[in-house]
Amino acid sequence: MDRVVLFLVRHGEVDFPEGVFYGQMDIPLSDRGREQSRLVARRLDGLGLDSVITSDLSRCRYIVQSMESLSQERILTEPALREINFGLWQGLSWKEIEEAWPGRMEQRMKHLSSYRPPDGESLTDLWNRSRCVFSECLEGMYGKRVAIIAHGGINRVFICKLLGMELQNLFRLHQDHACINRVDSYPDSVRVLRFLNCTCHLGDT
């Protein structure tokens, strides 16, 4: 039976202070993140991919730039795959957010699917802008092997939807930097999560 084999990848480690919300900021990879990206690119090169769709943020595109197996016409850059927009919270730590907007972070954690930071997005907003990309892959590319290179938030939201989980349970799913997930999609609309958060290609990196 024809199926779509979809590999869902997270970008490598970023060069940014831990605990700061960076969302859609186009921040660089760390040295470790660049090495992780090269290793995951090498793994993707060996998977016989027909196409790759990547977020337009540079931390994702670095993986595609490190691949050797695909011609440019088989690579699509898709802004809809950007990480969640934290709005006015981007570039701030949890403590700074709490000082400027007392109690708002607690509200967000209680209502993950619907809460919007000031000038930002909710998880439902993120899903609504990215879902068409996943639908096109899972329903329109039978017989193909495709990779989507995106972000921790995007990956978790998609996997929640795939498994029928509430978005409130998002953080029950872990996504390491430069991990790979695999989903098989069949013409009868059956979707199977074959593996989750695989990092074996990274070794001790």
Confidence label for 204 from pLDDT (cuts 50, 70 and 90): confident
pLDDT the model gives residue 20: 96
Q: Which residue has the tokens 């892959």?
A: 137
Each residue's pLDDT tens digit, 123-142:
999 999 999 999 999 988 99
Each residue's pLDDT tens digit, 145-159:
999 999 999 999 999
Indicate whether this model's pTM tops 0.85.
Answer: yes
Residue spans of the domains in the chain: they are 14-180
Strand segments (E) across 81-144: 92-93
pLDDT the model gives residue 197: 98
Residue 133 near residue 140 (C-beta atoms within 8 A): no
Q: Which residue has the tokens 């990309």?
A: 133
CATH architecture of the domain formed by 14-180: 3-Layer(aba) Sandwich (3.40)
- SS3 state at 204: coil
pLDDT the model gives residue 1: 58
